[in-house]
Structure 1
Amino acid sequence: MCRHLAYLGPPVSPAELLVEPPYGLYRQSWAPRMQRHGTVNADGFGLGWYAEGQPHPARYRRAVPIWADENFTDLARVLRTGALLAAVRSATASTTAGEAAAAPYAADGWLFSHNGALTGWPKATGAVAELLEPAELLGLEARCDSALVWALLRRRLRSGQEPARALAGTVREVARCTEARLNLLLTDGKVIAATTWGDTLFHRLELGRSVRVASEPGDDGPGWTPVPDRSVLLATPDAVTVHPLDSALREDPLR
């Protein structure tokens, strides 16, 4: 499956968000509490973050378990950022290994992560691949289901669709072709957008200050709010809105 988290707010160290919480993303790599599919997330990890004055994010990705990378804890301790997206990976069977398959994916100032799977990859998902042009398929960053979903979403974003609508349209587009779990997470450093389709998602809003969106809470403190399945979420430090996924799909020009 995978676990992921996005944050917007005052600059903090990634360690404060990922490592120090008692059930944070770092621990979720070997002991997730709410993961419905798979038991560990040891097939790689990634961190993407935005620096002040830089429109395009930086990334640090590895194909090893997050706990096996001593450099990560040092990086997470000293880096500071007001916007990040991080993920730990549980690879879908038959997908490729390697850093290129680890989220977050990035393009045009966006960071993206997929918590889920396209069932029966790759044989049962040919209809999804047919949605892309040959050049788009050849340009996939990795031979895996998440990279395929990202290519579909990126096409919608480049067409000018707003994040929530683009995510919802991508989920429905894929779900019409194959059985899938599609919790998607997207940020441009200013807004977080996400979908729930087959697994858990939570948000924690400190109004006017910060917001976190995560597969599961990093602690047992107050403020964590579950997002219903088959929903689309849009979040900033000033507000979180959640709507049924179908409501974001009316008159979808790419359906």
Structure 2
Amino acid sequence: MCRLLGWSSDRPVTVAELLGAPALERLQELAAVHAHGCGMAWYGDDDAELHAHRSALAAGDDGDFLRFVHETRTRRGLLHLRLATPGLGLEVVDTHPFVAGGTAFAHNGAIFPQDKVDLLLPPGASQPAGSTDSERYFSRLRSNIGHKQGSAAVAHAAGRVLSRMRWHGMSASSLNALLLTPRELHLISLHDPEAEPADVQVWPADYTTHPPYLDLSLLQRDGLSVVASSGILREETGVTRVDAASVVTLDDRGGVARVSQIPERIISPLRRSA
């Protein structure tokens, strides 16, 4: 399980500036728990090139990550803190974001059973570099989207990923993800809103209260939009919860271009039979 952060701004901004001191401190605290790797992808000021960095180090131990947060000015980007699913690799090739076809992708969740995740790969796909379900999810999502663009296309593609999983007897509590393209940033909110991680520490030990782990939030203010996993944007004014089966698309000017519903929902077998 992991933490996600994405943003779009009408001006170059650092992560530290767009979050502000309280949220940045919470991000740093979460990074000490989600410590199995970190990464980011971004577009800079008047720069059409997609930049990316991945590390197997915890964010607090990665100098490039820290310099990026405090010094690199971007217009759109995403950031990922990894808490690895047991049984999956801990190498750089297993860390997020994954980059292919001019897009970057980061995921929070786990797909089971692990011995079936290769069934997500589209026909003719090359063998993934790493061991993760996330890289295979990205491959199928990219194939489903094809040459289409926009929020509705991403929502339909995510729904088809979930349908394929069910067809092959796979399950997941969360397919939450960020997809960064040359013109947009898509937040895929696809999770069971009543599910919570079990038997694993996902919050800093001194957190006395915390929100539902899989919830995603949206903050819009002053020419920028921020989307984030729970625990990062908490007390900030104007934060709204994102629907658990939707895609929120941020444009390249700091606004929300569209929100589209995903035609499938994740509901745990226990809740379905109740």
**Shorter-normalised TM range:** 0.7 to 0.9
1:170-194 per-residue CA deviation (whole Å, 9 max, x = no partner) reads: 2333344311121121122532222
Q: Are residues 1:204 and 2:219 paired?
A: yes
* C-alpha displacement of 1:230: 2.5
CA distance in 2, matches of 1:244, 1:71: 36
* C-alpha displacement of 1:62: 0.6
The answer for the alignment partner of 1:222 in structure 2 is 237
What is the 5 A alignment of 1:108-119?
108-119=101-112
CA distance in 2, matches of 1:52, 1:22: 22
The answer for the alignment partner of 1:157 in structure 2 is 145
1:113-156 per-residue CA deviation (whole Å, 9 max, x = no partner) reads: 111001232x2xx2x42343575252x13111111101111212
Secondary structure of the structure 1 residue equivalent to 2:134 = helix
Could you state the TM-score of these two structures normalised by the residue count of structure 1?
Answer: 0.80
Q: Give me the CA root mean square deviation.
A: 2.5
What is the 5 A alignment of 1:67-146?
67-121=60-114, 123=115, 126=116, 128-133=117-122, 135-138=124-127, 140-146=128-134
What are structure 2's unaligned runs of at least 5 residues? Answer: 193-213, 266-274
CA distance in 2, matches of 1:176, 1:195: 21
* C-alpha displacement of 1:219: 4.3
CA separation of 1:247/1:66 partners in 2, compared to 1, >3 Å: closer, same or farther? closer
Letter paired with 1:160: K
Note if contact 1:192-1:234 (Cα within 8 Å) is conserved in structure 2.
yes
The answer for the alignment partner of 1:25 in structure 2 is 27
Letter paired with 1:195: S
Find 1:238's aligned residue among 255, 262, 267: 255
CA distance in 2, matches of 1:120, 1:247: 20
Find 2:185's aligned residue among 175, 189, 192: 192
Could you state the TM-score of these two structures normalised by the residue count of structure 2?
Answer: 0.75
Note if contact 1:129-1:137 (Cα within 8 Å) is conserved in structure 2.
no
* C-alpha displacement of 1:87: 0.3
CA distance in 2, matches of 1:25, 1:156: 32
How many residues in Structure 1 have an aligned counterpart in Structure 2?
A: 233
The answer for the alignment partner of 2:3 in structure 1 is 3
Find 1:51's aligned residue among 44, 47, 50: 44
Identity across the alignment (%): 26
Secondary structure of the structure 2 residue equivalent to 1:29 = helix
CA distance in 2, matches of 1:46, 1:19: 20
The answer for the alignment partner of 2:195 in structure 1 is none
What are structure 1's unaligned runs of at least 5 residues? Answer: 31-39, 249-255
Note if contact 1:231-1:242 (Cα within 8 Å) is conserved in structure 2.
yes
Letter paired with 1:213: V
Note if contact 1:56-1:108 (Cα within 8 Å) is conserved in structure 2.
no
Letter paired with 1:84: G
CA separation of 1:81/1:231 partners in 2, compared to 1, >3 Å: closer, same or farther? same
* C-alpha displacement of 1:74: 2.5
Secondary structure of the structure 2 residue equivalent to 1:130 = helix
Deviates more, 1:239-248 or 1:175-184: 239-248
* C-alpha displacement of 1:8: 0.3
CA distance in 1, matches of 2:143, 2:123: 14
Note if contact 1:47-1:86 (Cα within 8 Å) is conserved in structure 2.
yes
Deviates more, 1:197-206 or 1:152-161: 152-161
